[in-house]
Amino acid sequence: MDDVEFIGAISPWLGDADGPVRATLTLAIRQAIGSGQLPQGSRLPPERSLATALNVSRPTVSAVINELRAGGLVSSRQGSGTWVSGSSTRAESSIPFIERIMAPGQIDLASATAPDAGWLPPIRLESADLLVAEPANGLNPMGLWPLRETIACRAARYVADTTAANVIITSGAHQALALVVATLAPRGSTIIVEETTYGGLVDIIGANGCHVIGAPIDDDGVIPNPLGNLIERHRPTLTILVTPVHSPTGTISSAERCSELFETLRGADTQVVLDETYADLEFSQSGRQLS
What's the CA gap between 226 and 223, in Å, rounded?
6
What's the CA gap between 260 and 265, in Å, rounded?
9
Query: 3-class secondary structure for the chain?
Result: CCHHHHHHHHHHHHCCCCCCHHHHHHHHHHHHHHHCCCCCCCEECCHHHHHHHHCCCHHHHHHHHHHHHHCCCEEEECCCEEEECCCHHHHHHHCCHHHHHCCCCCCCCCCCCCCCCCCCCCCCCCHHHHHHHCCCCCCCCCCCHHHHHHHHHHHCCCCCCCCHHHCCCCCCHHHHHHHHHHHHCCCCCEEEEECCCCHHHHHHHHHCCCEEEEECEECCEECHHHHHHHHHHHCCCEEEEECCECCCCCCECCHHHHHHHHHHHHCCCCEEEEECCCHHHCCCCCCCCCC
Domains 3-101 and 172-291 alike in fold:
no
* Residue 73 near residue 32 (C-beta atoms within 8 A): no
The domain limits of the chain are: 3-101, 119-169, 172-291
pTM of the model: 0.56
Vertex 96 angle, CA 92 and 99, to 5°: 100
Contacts of 105 (CB under 8 A, 6+ apart): 12, 13, 15
What tens-digit pLDDT sequence spans the chain (291 residues)? 788 888 888 887 776 555 678 888 888 888 788 767 888 888 899 989 988 988 899 999 998 998 888 777 888 888 788 888 864 444 444 455 555 555 666 655 655 555 566 666 777 666 666 556 555 566 678 888 888 999 999 888 877 788 999 899 998 899 999 999 999 999 989 999 998 888 889 889 988 889 889 898 888 999 999 999 999 989 999 999 998 888 888 889 998 999 999 999 998 999 999 998 888 777 665 545 555
Domain 172-291 is found in CATH 1.10.3720.10: no
What number does CATH give the domain 3-101?
1.10.10.10
* Residue 261 near residue 280 (C-beta atoms within 8 A): no
